[in-house]
Amino acid sequence: MKGALSIAGSASRLEAAPIIVVFLLLLLLFMITAPGVFMAPNIYTTFLSTLPPLILLATGLTFVIGAGEIDLSFPAIIAFSGFVFAILFKEYQLGWLAVAIALLSGVLVGFVNGLLVARLGIPSFIATLGAQFFWSGIATVLSGGKSYALRGAEESSVWLWLVGRFQFGGDPYDWYNQVSVQALWTALIVVFLWFILNRHRFGEHVLFLGDSNDVSRVVGVDVEKEKIRLFTMMGALAALAAVFLTLENRNYFGNQGQGYLLLAIAAVLIGGTSIFGGRATIIGSVFGCFIVMVIETGLVASGLEGSWVRTVQGLVFLAAIIFYLIIEEPQRWRAAIARLLPAPLAPSRKGGDEHPA
């Protein structure tokens, strides 16, 4: 017992160690089932340009879910801020200003989410679901449902600095010349936010909020202010993801964010952030993103039909949640089992639980 405890103790000190092992095992599996893809370097440099938006979203969601809230509106922010960026960049040639305004638009949406949740006390699930419909509607109305091709964008300094490729000489299409700058920006942001979550006052407040709003209030955390900050930050990160995505694709289309809803939430929960709040791991979320992306690529590369991908992802997602439920809330798990078992087998409910007063 004691030995098991100390092993569990040292494992928990290494943040997200179990999920890193799961990722490596999956990678190994796909290296065996699809060696042509996973034993070559190209796939990994490709990941450097496809993963960053997902990782930015998952990092933001780590805070949101860690605080015991949820944000379902980020796909709409990707649509809305992506549109703001695309039109200002293409039609008005605003360059860097277009980036700034697009980020501001995300901040604005996030701030409004924060107000709805913190000031009006609407559950974040409902508030951000409403926001999702509203802002994606606005994006559709403003864009008229059209997509915007950003032809020639790669000539601009915006493209070069945000999503350009590091050049190491030789064939520009060879794998080592496909390392995207956005991976670097994303890595810097993730490291910074790791420090914010684990070492900063705001991060501590987020974790206490997830633990209990009542306790937070009692110990002097400004619950409303921190929640507004939380959703505002999520909005900013979603807007940055939108800019990366639009630039990378050199194209804006209205539903470019939709695919991320499940993936980002799944990545965070697979990574080990508690669905009940109070415990959050950014390293876990990043590896959760790796897992989600590797499953998608790996299944297709292993010869499974694309239509199976979502099914398997959903399955992994549910399996992960059940796994953490057993670990984290064994009493809930036991209660669930007890409900499923026929009455004589279920543990007695008599005594013990009553309030002594």
Partner 1 sequence: MGMDVAAARIDYTHIVRLEDVQKHFGAIHALKNINLAIGRNEIVGLIGDNGAGKSTLIKTLTGVLKPSSGHIYVRDRQINLEDYSVGMAHELAIQTVYQDKSLGEKQPLWRNFFVGRQITNRWGFIDIKKEKEIANDILKRAIGFRGKGITVDSNVKQLSGGERQGIAIGRAMHFKADLIVLDEPTVALAVKEVRKVLDFVRRIKEQGHACIYIEHNLAHVHEVADRLVVLDRGEIVSEIRPQDMTVAALTEYLIEMQNRT
**How big is the CA angle at 178 (ends 173 and 183), to the nearest 5 degrees?**
165
Q: Of 273 and 313, which CB lies nearer to partner 1 in the complex structure?
A: 273
Q: Indicate the SS3 state at residue 149.
A: strand
Q: Of 326 and 341, which CB lies nearer to partner 1 in the complex structure?
A: 326
The rounded radius of gyration (Å) of the Cα atoms in the chain is 22
Q: Of 151 and 199, which CB lies nearer to partner 1 in the complex structure?
A: 199
> In this structure, how many other beta carbons lie within 10 angstroms of the beta carbon of residue 356?
3
Q: Of 220 and 303, which CB lies nearer to partner 1 in the complex structure?
A: 220
Instruction: List the one residue from 1, 4, 218, 343 that touches partner 1 (CB under 8 A).
Output: 218
Assess 58 for contact with partner 1 (CB under 8 A).
Answer: no
Instruction: Report the C-alpha gap between 43 and 106 in whole angstroms.
Output: 31
Instruction: Report the C-alpha gap between 128 and 109 in whole angstroms.
Output: 10
DSSP state of 39: T
Selected range binding partner 1 among 39-47, 120-128, 219-227, 316-324, rule: CB under 8 A? 219-227
Q: With beta carbons less than 8 A apart as the criterion, state whether 11 and 327 touch.
A: no
Q: At its nearest, how many Å lie between partner 1 and the CB of residue 118?
A: 15
Q: At its nearest, how many Å lie between partner 1 and the CB of residue 184?
A: 23
Q: Of 3 and 344, which CB lies nearer to partner 1 in the complex structure?
A: 3
Q: Residue 232: which residues within 8 A CB-CB, separation 6 or more?
A: 107, 110, 111, 113, 114
Instruction: Report the C-alpha gap between 61 and 87 in whole angstroms.
Output: 27
Kindly report the backbone phi and psi dihedral angles of residue 99, in degrees, each rounded to the nearest multiple of 5, phi listed first: -60, -50
Q: At its nearest, how many Å lie between partner 1 and the CB of residue 205?
A: 7
Assess 274 for contact with partner 1 (CB under 8 A).
Answer: yes
Instruction: List the one residue from 81, 113, 216, 297 that touches partner 1 (CB under 8 A).
Output: 216
Question: What x-and-dash track marks residues 176-195 binding partner 1 by CB under 8 A?
Answer: -------------------x
Q: Residue 292: which residues within 8 A CB-CB, separation 6 or more?
A: 54, 263, 266, 267, 270, 313, 316
Q: At its nearest, how many Å lie between partner 1 and the CB of residue 315?
A: 28
User: Between the CA of residue 79 and those of 65, 72, 88, 150, 284, what are the distances in Å?
Assistant: 22, 13, 14, 15, 27
Instruction: List the one residue from 151, 201, 225, 310 that touches partner 1 (CB under 8 A).
Output: 201
Assess 224 for contact with partner 1 (CB under 8 A).
Answer: no
Instruction: Report the C-alpha gap between 76 and 86 in whole angstroms.
Output: 15
Q: Of 170 and 356, which CB lies nearer to partner 1 in the complex structure?
A: 356
Assess 219 for contact with partner 1 (CB under 8 A).
Answer: yes
Q: Of 163 and 196, which CB lies nearer to partner 1 in the complex structure?
A: 196
Positions in the binding site for partner 1 (CB under 8 A): 195, 199-202, 204-205, 207-208, 210-212, 214-222, 274, 278-279, 355-357
